[in-house]
Chains A and B, each alone.
Chain A
Amino acid sequence: MALLEVHNLVKAFGGLNANDDVSFVIEKGELLGLIGPNGAGKTTCFNCIAGMFPPTSGRIVFDGEDVTGLPAHEMARRGLARTFQVYTAGGDLTVGENVLVGCFMHTRSRSSARSKADGILEQMGLKEFRNQLVSELPVAAQKRVTMATALGTDPKLLLLDEVAAGLNPSEIEATMAGIRRINAEHGVTVMLIEHVMELVMNISHRVIVLDYGRKIAEGCPKDIVRDPQVIKAYLGERYVREHATEFGGSAIP
């Protein structure tokens, strides 16, 4: 059953169509990758789905309900959570307090919000950092905080925007395991934007490729990496080069 349907999504900024007639479906329980070169419109697509701004045209159906144009907090209440590509909590909230904010979405009770936050901190390996400011943490832990905060809202669908950017291989490994656990054990449907191919190709059930705002390919990872259009637009130079240097040429499909 489809959890999210995106129909002919267009988002225009001035003359530029950051998303141009994009359509796709996410099934319940799926782990969907979204890739494409910088500026392809991936984050914009997330923003439209999450209600950060309304799409210029097109329709978004979430869990059977037409949610096109609903504001972000309404989307969150319906079970959509997301992380942000560029965000380090600069405020005076500690790690524990950050996670608590998400946990307060469904309850007013402090004790139940707190015990839920405790569980999530434990699960995400953030317990030792709970009283520290987010800005004092290493990058990998900061990324985990944004995921933990989003998880506090009990999402049905979690949108992850480049959560592995800037991490080293062992941290990427851990993040990958974490995302798998969220998806498999907690039954959260996940859609992730990622430039780290090792991660996205390894864990995604299906991958969508955007280029200049348009969807140019969709399919399972092993077909995507062989797709000539995808290689030309995105993987070609980049995948091969990154692969050779960062991962020592280890063989992924």
Chain B
Amino acid sequence: MEAIRNTLDFSDFPKTDLGVALAVLVFLFCFPLFPHSAFAMATMIQFFIFSLYGMGWNTIGGYGGQVDLGKAQYVGIGAYTTMVCLLRWDIPFWVSMPVGACLSICWSFIIGYPLFKLKGHYFAIATIATSLVLKDLFEVWKFVGAARGLGILPYKYHPPDYWRLIFKEDIYYYYIIFAFFIVGLLYMNWFRKSRLGYQLRSIKDNEEVARSLGINVHWAKIKTYAIATAFVSIVGSFHAVYIKNIEPEDTMSLDISILIALMAMLGGAGSLWGPVIGAGVLIPLKSYLKEWLGASAGLLGIDLIIYGLIIMIISAFEPRGLWGIVEKYRRRRRK
């Protein structure tokens, strides 16, 4: 009972926040009912997917302050588990998704133990390395299609297939990922004021002090890393059935890892709304730029220029991102 109350407890937010959040939710709920282009629809689904990746990242990266640049490996494990299960054994999404999450969590414990012996930049670089190693492995692993990856042939199924999540129209995917989004947001609302949530913020502030308050710092980080991992893996599974074509270079690339971290940091690491704001700004920007500039966008490295600019802006002005600016302004006004 207390858990439910805590999940739904938004009472520490000012009314304006809740008002805006509600308006956004209503808009998101109604969006597919209004006329829209297929492109806008796809962008919206990407927004949900990356919001959820960002929320997962935010547990360890935001509240815990451990800059993790290897989340793509868990997108990969989730996506590949679901894909392989479906193609080889016809196992539906709702079974393969939790299986993928379990595999991801196991992998996160295995690499988390040594990873969290490292600090700061060393940790960040090591997360990149583990992710790239896993990607390289998948690129030569025949069972999972090696570098060419795996694809779903939709005509083999009978959409709408709610078990395997095979649909013809994007609107189905939209509402499913929207539901995931709500659940993710509620979980994060529970998490941020949980014991682990506070312990992480204490660790981020000062590890020595955290230890002296009875916190097993290493274990707290590993646990949180597993939570982040589960988030990313579950959404990775969804990504696989939605995109229907996965290959290591796309699904597990360093780009994805960096985008996840950057988005959350841009929006506001360590805040509930941060990852959503970050995804809301960055995902449309990214896909519309690509649309306008066509194929040349990739060649010009527009993505990288944007990422670079964001990193500079965040580190120069406000390490806590866009939400940090709002909070700073509020704090000043209260005085």
A-side residues, CB < 8 A to B, are 50-52, 71-73, 76-77, 81-82, 84, 87, 89-93, 97-98, 100-102, 104-105, 107-111, 113, 149-150, 152-153
Contacts and interface: CB of A to CB of B under 8 A. Distances in A.
Contacts of B210: 101
Interface of B is mostly: helix
A72 B320 CA distance: 30
Interface residues of B, number: 24
B2 A76 contact: no
A76 B206 contact: no
B201 A92 contact: yes
Question: Which of the listed residues A73, A100, A111, A149 has the most CB atoms from chain B within 10 Å of its own CB?
Answer: A73
Interface string B203-221: 0111011111111110000
27 contacts: A52-B208, A52-B211, A52-B212, A72-B212, A73-B212, A73-B214, A76-B214, A81-B213, A84-B208, A90-B205, A91-B201, A91-B206, A93-B202, A97-B198, A98-B202, A101-B201, A101-B202, A101-B210, A101-B213, A101-B215, A105-B213, A105-B215, A108-B195, A110-B2, A110-B194, A149-B209, A153-B214
A72 B212 CA distance: 6
Given A91-B201, A92-B270, A97-B201, A105 B214 contact: yes
B130 interface: no
B208 A104 contact: no
Given A109-B2, A110-B193, A102 B213 contact: yes
A90 to B, nearest CB: 7
B332 to A, nearest CB: 12
Interface in B97-123: none
B189 interface: no
A50 B212 contact: yes
Nearest to A114: B193
B206 A89 contact: yes
Contacts of A90: 205-206
B245 interface: no
A84 B209 contact: yes
A149 B213 contact: yes
B216 A101 contact: no
B211 A101 contact: no
B201 A93 contact: yes
A104 B206 contact: no
Contacts of A109: 2
B199 interface: yes
Interface string B179-204: 00000000000000111001101101
B206 A101 contact: no
B212 A104 contact: no
A72 to B, nearest CB: 4
Nearest to A146: B209
B212 A76 contact: yes
B195 A113 contact: yes
Given A108-B195, A109-B2, A110-B2, A71 B201 contact: no
Contacts of A152: 213
B43 interface: no
B205 A89 contact: yes
Contacts of B206: 87, 89-91
Given A92-B201, A150-B212, 17 more contacts: A51-B211, A52-B212, A71-B216, A72-B208, A73-B216, A73-B217, A77-B214, A84-B208, A90-B206, A92-B320, A101-B199, A101-B201, A102-B213, A110-B2, A110-B6, A110-B195, A153-B214
Contacts of A104: 195, 198-199
A188 to B, nearest CB: 15
Specify which of B194, B202, B212 lies most central, judged by the most chain A CB atoms within 10 Å of its CB: B212
A48 to B, nearest CB: 13
Contacts of A105: 213-215
Contacts of A50: 212
A150 B209 CA distance: 9
B211 A73 contact: yes
A113 to B, nearest CB: 7
A37 B2 CA distance: 52
A87 B29 CA distance: 47
B209 A87 contact: yes
A127 B105 CA distance: 41
Ranked nearest first, the 5 interchain pairs of A and B with the lowest CB-CB distance are A91-B205, A76-B214, A72-B211, A105-B214, A104-B195
A72 B194 CA distance: 22
Contacts of B216: 71, 73
A109 B91 CA distance: 39
A142 B213 CA distance: 17
Nearest to A78: B214
B221 to A, nearest CB: 13
Contacts of B205: 89-93
Nearest to B320: A92
A46 to B, nearest CB: 10
A109 to B, nearest CB: 7
Nearest to A133: B331
B271 to A, nearest CB: 9
Contacts of B199: 101, 104
A86 B70 CA distance: 35
